[in-house]
Chain A
């Protein structure tokens, strides 16, 4: 039973990460599109417990930032002006989970703003934008993977179960899809579509485009599983009891594909988050001012931002824990979901 723990561990880790993003309104201190034109490109404000005099404070605080003398965009901490962190503070209104109206934020401050990851060109809080951006990017990844897997499941099951010319035709198309240079086709496809569309439409466009691209690999995997499953004796036995094709597919064959599908989902979701980021980075995704991880990084296209404001890179690191979580989940799913691997005694117990 030592195998079960990693799976649960990954599920818990991913659950916590997603909960933070889903409840972005609560964890983010500010509205993601609220501008503060007087404070563009503020660097991250570190939190302190020890002040300049060496006194310990129980409440974490940040120092306000002031322009370094003789510069116009270099900030330094103003140790005379501390900004204490206030927890469960009322601030900008938001809707939790999209419908529960609330004003309570995990933290905030009284006078100056605390921008943990700095601000962007419009003085918007990067930390808040990062959390809200995760909602769009992860949802795009999840829905895109859902699309891909549904198409892959249908195509793969049809090809594997019915075989013959249908199998040949579907698999040739799948091979074509695998061989195409996808990134460039995505650009072309997106370029044909109207450039300025509403954020919601743009979002679903991306999901559809990303989701329609990757079905070939899962389809081939599903086909392989279906092909071997339909020859198994228990499927034949059920056919012997007078089962129809749809019954056999539903009750015996498709359940066999679940481990492939789950594993593929865990691999595809981070890939698709990355695809959304690529599209948005190039300005083909969800339009500004809505935040998405790709939008946050698109500032880096400008050379001046690239060299002067290192903290604009930080959003790129945000997805690292998500990716690690999903990849860990994928490999432990692969291990776990082998129903025919009957539990063996571990080799250690023989010794």
Chain B
């Protein structure tokens, strides 16, 4: 089957000029390749600084990769003209890692939630409002928060607002950058179930970025492990969990807190 999203030899190089004027290069992505089929979930796990967020930015057309290609529905979206990329962006939504930065502090919760719908247009005022209320309930927020500013929400509430906002456009691909990490277990489970249900009804495809292998194992069909800008290991979730090949994967597995110590995979030093 033709994958919905295919990333080929993606390289993202950040350049910085130091005081002497010479350029320092920093390879955030160093030849990443993978493919995701429609209606599946790929978890991208890796240590901090391994390039996971950068990957999310490139795929959602918010950063232009240095080289490589990203195939989405048969088109290479890296080489598209800016006007084409703008039309494409609503279909590939990114939930930002830090919701306190991705919500405009001057706006109210309602304005924030309605922004994607208003930008899309086509909907009437009443319909938009109804949709906003529905989205809020889906992520377990009550709509009497509408007039608050994001600073008046808790971290978890902000995170859920960001999730609701990204779901508003019903994107084909949703990239969740540590989207569930800040939530408590019961809310995590509620959102996870919501995501699974949306995947079934709308056929959404998820790129689930996390450092939490347990969460990845629960949600994902496949797992890609990243280290220093490369995908070092990729395969079906259960395979990765049971037979980790790379040391970095074993490190990540060892970090899963478990009540039963016996279940821990052995850690080779």
B89 close to A (CB within 8 Å): yes
A81 close to B (CB within 8 Å): no
A340 to chain B minimum Cβ distance, whole angstroms, is 6
Residue of B nearest to A255 (CB): B106
B104 close to A (CB within 8 Å): yes
Task: Report yes or no: A240 in contact with B93, Cβ–Cβ below 8 A.
Answer: yes
B116 close to A (CB within 8 Å): yes
A226 to chain B minimum Cβ distance, whole angstroms, is 15
Complex Cα gap A239–B57 (Å): 12
Complex Cα gap A237–B111 (Å): 14
Complex Cα gap A339–B104 (Å): 10
Task: Pick from B86, B98, B104: contact of A252, CB below 8 A.
Answer: B104
Residue of B nearest to A252 (CB): B104
B72 to chain A minimum Cβ distance, whole angstroms, is 14
Task: Report yes or no: B103 in contact with A234, Cβ–Cβ below 8 A.
Answer: yes
Task: Report yes or no: B151 in contact with A233, Cβ–Cβ below 8 A.
Answer: no
Task: Report yes or no: A240 in contact with B94, Cβ–Cβ below 8 A.
Answer: yes
Residue of B nearest to A244 (CB): B86
Contacts of A247 on B, CB cut-off 8 Å? 119
A172 close to B (CB within 8 Å): no
Task: Report yes or no: A240 in contact with B89, Cβ–Cβ below 8 A.
Answer: yes
Contacts of A236 on B, CB cut-off 8 Å? 57, 62, 96, 102
B242 close to A (CB within 8 Å): no
Complex Cα gap A145–B57 (Å): 41
- Residue of A234, A243, A252 with highest tally of chain B CB at under 10 A: A234
A3-45 interface (Cβ within 8 A of B) = none
B52-78 interface (Cβ within 8 A of A) = 57, 60-62
A232 close to B (CB within 8 Å): yes
Contact with A along B109-129 (1 / 0, CB 8 A): 000000110011000000000
Task: Report yes or no: B119 in contact with A243, Cβ–Cβ below 8 A.
Answer: yes
Task: Report yes or no: B119 in contact with A242, Cβ–Cβ below 8 A.
Answer: yes
Complex Cα gap A114–B133 (Å): 69
A241 close to B (CB within 8 Å): yes
A342 close to B (CB within 8 Å): yes
Task: Pick from B60, B87, B104: contact of A240, CB below 8 A.
Answer: B60
Query: How many A-B contacts are there with CB distance less than 8 Å?
Result: 53
Contacts of A242 on B, CB cut-off 8 Å? 86-87, 89-90, 119-120
- Residue of A237, A244, A247, A342 with highest tally of chain B CB at under 10 A: A237
Complex Cα gap A239–B89 (Å): 8
A163 to chain B minimum Cβ distance, whole angstroms, is 14
A238 close to B (CB within 8 Å): yes
Contact with B along A245-257 (1 / 0, CB 8 A): 0010000100100
Task: Report yes or no: B104 in contact with A241, Cβ–Cβ below 8 A.
Answer: no
A236 to chain B minimum Cβ distance, whole angstroms, is 5
B105 close to A (CB within 8 Å): yes
Task: Report yes or no: B101 in contact with A233, Cβ–Cβ below 8 A.
Answer: yes
Contacts of A255 on B, CB cut-off 8 Å? 106
Contacts of A342 on B, CB cut-off 8 Å? 151
Complex Cα gap A342–B153 (Å): 12
B173 to chain A minimum Cβ distance, whole angstroms, is 12
Contacts of B98 on A, CB cut-off 8 Å? 233
A296 to chain B minimum Cβ distance, whole angstroms, is 44
A324-351 interface (Cβ within 8 A of B) = 339-340, 342
Task: Report yes or no: B105 in contact with A340, Cβ–Cβ below 8 A.
Answer: yes
Task: Report yes or no: B106 in contact with A233, Cβ–Cβ below 8 A.
Answer: no
A237 to chain B minimum Cβ distance, whole angstroms, is 5
Contacts of B60 on A, CB cut-off 8 Å? 240
Residue of A nearest to B168 (CB): A241
Complex Cα gap A192–B89 (Å): 55
Task: Report yes or no: B102 in contact with A237, Cβ–Cβ below 8 A.
Answer: yes
B195 close to A (CB within 8 Å): no
Contacts of B103 on A, CB cut-off 8 Å? 234, 237
Task: Report yes or no: B116 in contact with A233, Cβ–Cβ below 8 A.
Answer: no
A144 to chain B minimum Cβ distance, whole angstroms, is 29
- Residue of A242, A243, A244 with highest tally of chain B CB at under 10 A: A242
B113 to chain A minimum Cβ distance, whole angstroms, is 12
A246 to chain B minimum Cβ distance, whole angstroms, is 12
Residue of A nearest to B87 (CB): A242
B177 to chain A minimum Cβ distance, whole angstroms, is 10
Contacts of B252 on A, CB cut-off 8 Å? none
Residue of B nearest to A340 (CB): B105
Tell me whether A241 and B62 are in contact in the complex, defined as CB-CB below 8 angstroms, given that A232-B101, A234-B101, A255-B106 are known contacts. Answer: no
- Residue of A232, A233, A239, A243 with highest tally of chain B CB at under 10 A: A233
Task: Report yes or no: A241 in contact with B101, Cβ–Cβ below 8 A.
Answer: no
Task: Report yes or no: A339 in contact with B106, Cβ–Cβ below 8 A.
Answer: yes
Residue of A nearest to B100 (CB): A233
Tell me whether A241 and B102 are in contact in the complex, defined as CB-CB below 8 angstroms, given that A236-B62, A342-B151 are known contacts. Answer: no
Q: Which residues of B contact A (CB under 8 A)?
A: 57, 60-62, 86-87, 89-90, 93-94, 96, 98, 101-106, 115-116, 119-120, 151, 165, 169
Q: Which residues of A contact B (CB under 8 A)?
A: 232-234, 236-244, 247, 252, 255, 339-340, 342
With A240-B61, A240-B94 known, 16 other A-B pairs at CB within 8 A are A233-B101, A234-B101, A234-B104, A237-B103, A237-B165, A238-B115, A238-B119, A239-B62, A239-B86, A241-B119, A242-B87, A242-B119, A243-B119, A244-B86, A339-B105, A340-B105
15 A-B pairs with CB atoms under 8 Å apart are A236-B57, A238-B119, A239-B62, A239-B89, A240-B60, A240-B62, A240-B89, A241-B89, A241-B115, A242-B90, A244-B86, A247-B119, A252-B104, A339-B106, A342-B151
